[in-house]
Amino acid sequence: MTPRHLAAAAVVALFALSWLWYLRLAPPLTLPPWLAAGAHALLMLPAVLLLAARRRSALFWGSVGALFAFCHGVMEAWSAPAARVPALVEIALSLAIIFGASWDGVRNRLAKKRGV
């Protein structure tokens, strides 16, 4: 499995986690669960749609959404003990997207610095 495939799988997993988190694992008390899940899933929706269309820009947009998801996960893990496990999973998936999507570029840049 290449880093790009890992990032694509993490985009889909993060999209699914949004629904699972707010509908089953830790439903919100003040909003309808479907509304919270849908709003959170909007972060990854462009990337999921672009992946389905096999567009090369899917992982870029997935990385942009993952930056927001990472911040959300850190905030939830810090402030809501009941949601700590899904928040840590969100953090891990966000990092997998960011590193998987940028791995080829980082590797090529380091190879140029070494003169390979």
| Alpha helix ranges (H) inside 42-83 | 45-52, 58-79
The range of the structural domain enclosing residue 35 comes to: 3-114
Rounded CA gap, 3 and 20, in Å? 25
Residues making up the chain, counted from first to last:
116
Mean of per-residue pLDDT scores for the chain = 93
| Backbone φ and ψ of 29, nearest 5° | -90, -25
The closest alpha carbon to 62, from 73, 74, 53, 49, belongs to 49
What mean pLDDT is predicted for residues 99-105? 89
Integer distance in angstroms from the first to the last C-alpha of the chain?
24
**The model scores a pTM over 0.85:** yes
pLDDT number for residue 77: 96
Q: Which residues contact 27 (CB under 8 A, 6 or more apart)?
A: 33, 36
| 1 against 10, higher pLDDT | 10
Instruction: Write the CB contacts of 61 (distance below 8 Å, at least 6 apart in sequence).
Output: 46, 47, 50
Return the pLDDT at 116. Answer: 61
pLDDT digits (tens, 9 = 90+) for 11-64: 999 999 999 999 999 998 899 999 999 999 999 999 999 999 999 999 999 999
Domain count, the chain: 1
